[in-house]
Structure 1
Amino acid sequence: MSIKQDLTNKNISQRLSIIVYLNSVSNQYKLRHYGDIVYFSKKLGYCILYVNQNEIEQVMRNLTALDFVDRVERSKWDQIDLSSDHIEKQITDLAADAERKLQERQENTEQLL
């Protein structure tokens, strides 16, 4: 059973992250009204908020209307496939690619000698 299915079975509200790019970083604390601030970069001028999944569209519209907000994006984090089958396939593909490159390098060095 996946984590998402387990959470919905237990009636736990799912939360998604959104990235808010700011024109003025001094107003970052005003974002607390819209969600939980989990990360803030003063240097790059962005903030990551966690928002309830069922409220995300409304919160994104409200944030876009603020004068100190440059733009708002939905995080791609929830689209990452973390299943063990997918991860194992990636590891095998990386290992096969590394082995192929190693063989090519050995063949090139043998040709030079």
Structure 2
Amino acid sequence: MENIEKKEIRPLYIRERVAVYVYCYSYKGTRQLSRFGDIVYSSQKSHYSLLYVNNDEVADLLNKLKELRFVKKVRVGHIKELDQNFSEAFIQTNLEVKEELEH
């Protein structure tokens, strides 16, 4: 058992990912979108797909997607820009409700 070598554990690098919403004229072209990123959701009725792509590739990818014939418009998700601290929002709404009940 002493001869077992300990292997070095490499750190796991998590890449920043961005949500990209791609609106199409028809549902036929959505299968081709898998070349550009990971398709997480695709709506056949609303003709849009949700892709996750690497953050450093977004600028080039948006131009490539807009050039495709079946793509109507492309939007980038803004979840990173939103404040996700909801505890302060709950405190504020509780205070507002208490004030309304007192009056």
> Normalising to structure 1: TM-score of the pair?
0.75
Cα RMSD of the aligned pairs, angstroms, is: 1.6
User: What one-letter code is carried by the residue in structure 2 that aligns with 1:102?
Assistant: L
Q: Which residue matches 1:49?
A: 51
- Please, which runs of 5 or more residues in structure 2 have no aligned partner? 1-10
- Structure 2: distance between partners of 1:46 and 1:23: 9
Give the structure 1 partner of residue 89 of structure 2: 90
Instruction: Compare the two structures and name the one with the higher helix fraction.
Output: 1
Q: Which runs of 4+ in 1 moved over 4 A?
A: none
Bigger RCO of structures 1 and 2 (CA < 8 A, at least 6 apart): 2
Number of equivalenced pairs: 93
Q: Which amino acid aligns with 2:98?
A: E
User: Residue by residue, what CA displacement relative to the aligned partner does 1:14-52 show, whole Å, maximum 9, x if unpaired?
Assistant: 111111111111211000000000111111111110001
